[in-house]
Structure 1
């Protein structure tokens, strides 16, 4: 196996898959990759939920429905099996990310835990985590370049699973990134419904890349899509090659908000912008807010220097005792249809982090 950044000896080992063909063939290749590289298998779900999911995808996201059929074939299962072929793991409470749209480029830091799933569970339960011999949750990301015969080509970056995406760009110049929306609300989630009909948190962005070419199309698609929170609630920053951009949020009673700015940068971290529209009136951070307000002030102030510089100013490097890092920094150029990403490889000497070179991925046929 060839890694494009890092190795099994580093914290991150990043794979890049380029897949061509029909949506079904792409899904079959993704299923073959998961079957070969992981011990994951499709979990059973309620037959009624499985049937509703198939109908929803067929009507609203046929690209995903076709990929799912190919994924099922790779596992020797019928497309109508009462299982969930997606196994997207939404962001658990406590992670933080930052992003800004300058009108021509979108930049984002992806901040996440450096722990395994069981270690994270211990931390959230207030127990000291111990080494358990399993890989950290975010240590094996994928860059996925999909070039379908019958749809929009895209390049996306996913933390671990292959059905959704954390960020990406498509051949029309649409770009997006997801970020946790409300840290305090995430800590209050006491029930995970599991897969439902509609879009899970990490599927939303992949849905936009597959079906939309402009921010106006993306707004309409988001308002029409049935969504559910499978994990922590997130919001999404979306932009296109025309220079338009917005942050999409869902508030109380599932009211939808499109946050935009008339001029200047559009910046977002981990609190709901529609609740805090005035930068000068942001609350002060607490030990539970992961510096979301401070990071927003900083990247707004530093935005004129460029997305890389602004994001580096709020990057999570080495903090003694802190089990999280900025795992990658991406900068998207919608006009060029490119994603340029620098990956965290581990802690270095003298309180610094080791990084890969910045790698640029395009979208081409």
Structure 2
């Protein structure tokens, strides 16, 4: 099975070093490669499992997400373990700490100058380690040590499994989930914090039966070809949070897109664009949709309403394009001049071309002497699109 790993942006002297891992073969072989990379990059090790719950998780994955179960088998083989012994959890689930701020938008092909659908997002996150962040939130002194920032070791993962679909995803800190990605059919997904104003901290509950909030994008990319299929999959899937609740922008190359949200009582919402762009930041869009009628931001909202209004205004009308998308995202970028109350930066900006199957990302490398952010050149990663899929286009 061919596996390649290379640093494509940044270095040990920059804020981040970005690795691109490409793996092909069976899902078991891909899982084996990802587990090996997780051990190397993050010193990952499986945690002890509740055997009843682990067995129920395997059964759920077998029924609803067999690709993930096969990758878990590969992880077991990489560690010399028996998956069916149910002694440990063989996927690396972690919570998303409270307070990150992201912005995203989708332009359908009917609104773009070249007739190609594009989805773009800023991934805004803390520039501290997890230990330093928790000390900050608790009002405690900053810890000593050399623990790296949580967002300093992202991975681009390109998987070309036997039987497809091929995917290219971008993950901050775990290799069995992702923050955003695209598959060979031109379906793209991005996750964002769902409700900054009432967000809670990570849930210390461990893996549950179903799909976790960070696994959900990869679940859709593995199992769906269109936004319509993604709606059906989400309505039929068991979902859970291990951290702050998230919501998702899901879109395909045909022009179909929606925001997927769950309310505090478990109610589910599919929010579609009336026409033109579909924008999302860090509040529940089904509650506050109109950019002209938004609440005021406060210390807890991470400027979600301000960013939503700005990106919506810059994404209005026809004549949209990938460049307009980049300009809109840069207008809501979080940098040293943005007062979030916490050390947060836009650590990457991604624009997907859903027709071409590409993911173009610019990564944060640190601050210059004048305080301005330093970014890598925009790097383009192409999902492996089989000839049969190309023939459909």
Does the TM-score normalized on the shorter chain lie above 0.5?
yes
In structure 2, C-alpha distance between the alignment counterparts of 1:196 and 1:82, rounded to whole Å: 15
Question: Post-superposition shift, 1:281?
Answer: 1.3
Residues 1:101 and 2:106 are matched in the alignment: yes
* 2:192 and 2:281 in contact (8 A); partners too: yes
Residues 1:340 and 2:353 are matched in the alignment: no
2:272 to 260, 267, 270: 260
In structure 1, C-alpha distance between the alignment counterparts of 2:145 and 2:302, rounded to whole Å: 26
In structure 2, C-alpha distance between the alignment counterparts of 1:33 and 1:132, rounded to whole Å: 24
Residue of structure 2 in register with 1:357 after alignment? 377
1:171 to 171, 184, 188: 184
Residues 1:323 and 2:352 are matched in the alignment: no
In structure 2, C-alpha distance between the alignment counterparts of 1:214 and 1:190, rounded to whole Å: 31
Question: Post-superposition shift, 1:190?
Answer: 7.3
Residues 1:114 and 2:134 are matched in the alignment: no
2:33 to 23, 29, 35: 29
Question: Post-superposition shift, 1:322?
Answer: 4.0
Q: CA RMSD in A?
A: 1.5
Question: Post-superposition shift, 1:9?
Answer: 1.1
* 1:298 and 1:313 in contact (8 A); partners too: yes
Q: Aligned runs of 1:1-365 on 2, under 5 Å?
A: 2-80=6-84, 81-103=86-108, 104-187=117-200, 189=201, 191-303=203-315, 304=320, 306-319=324-337, 322-364=342-384
Residue of structure 1 in register with 2:112 after alignment? none
Question: Post-superposition shift, 1:148?
Answer: 0.2
Distance 1:276 1:38, change over 3 A: closer
In structure 1, C-alpha distance between the alignment counterparts of 2:34 and 2:203, rounded to whole Å: 29
In structure 2, C-alpha distance between the alignment counterparts of 1:276 and 1:210, rounded to whole Å: 31
Q: Deviations over 1:290-311 (max 9, x none)?
A: 1000000000111257110000
In structure 1, C-alpha distance between the alignment counterparts of 2:369 and 2:94, rounded to whole Å: 32
Question: Post-superposition shift, 1:243?
Answer: 1.1
Count, aligned residues: 364
* 2:178 and 2:215 in contact (8 A); partners too: yes
List structure 1 segments (4+ residues) > 6 angstroms apart after TM superposition. Answer: none
In structure 2, C-alpha distance between the alignment counterparts of 1:318 and 1:152, rounded to whole Å: 40
In structure 2, C-alpha distance between the alignment counterparts of 1:285 and 1:233, rounded to whole Å: 19
* 1:88 and 1:162 in contact (8 A); partners too: no
Q: TM-score, normalised by structure 1?
A: 0.96
Q: Secondary structure of 1:133's partner?
A: coil
In structure 1, C-alpha distance between the alignment counterparts of 2:301 and 2:60, rounded to whole Å: 36
**Is the deviation greater in 85-94 or in 104-113?**
85-94
Can you give the 5+ residue segments of structure 1 that lack an aligned partner in the other structure?
A: none
Can you give the 5+ residue segments of structure 2 that lack an aligned partner in the other structure?
A: 109-116, 387-393
**Is the deviation greater in 351-360 or in 316-325?**
316-325
In structure 2, C-alpha distance between the alignment counterparts of 1:329 and 1:38, rounded to whole Å: 23
In structure 2, C-alpha distance between the alignment counterparts of 1:23 and 1:2, rounded to whole Å: 21
Q: Deviations over 1:124-144 (max 9, x none)?
A: 212242442111111100000
Q: Deviations over 1:54-83 (max 9, x none)?
A: 110011100000010001110111112321
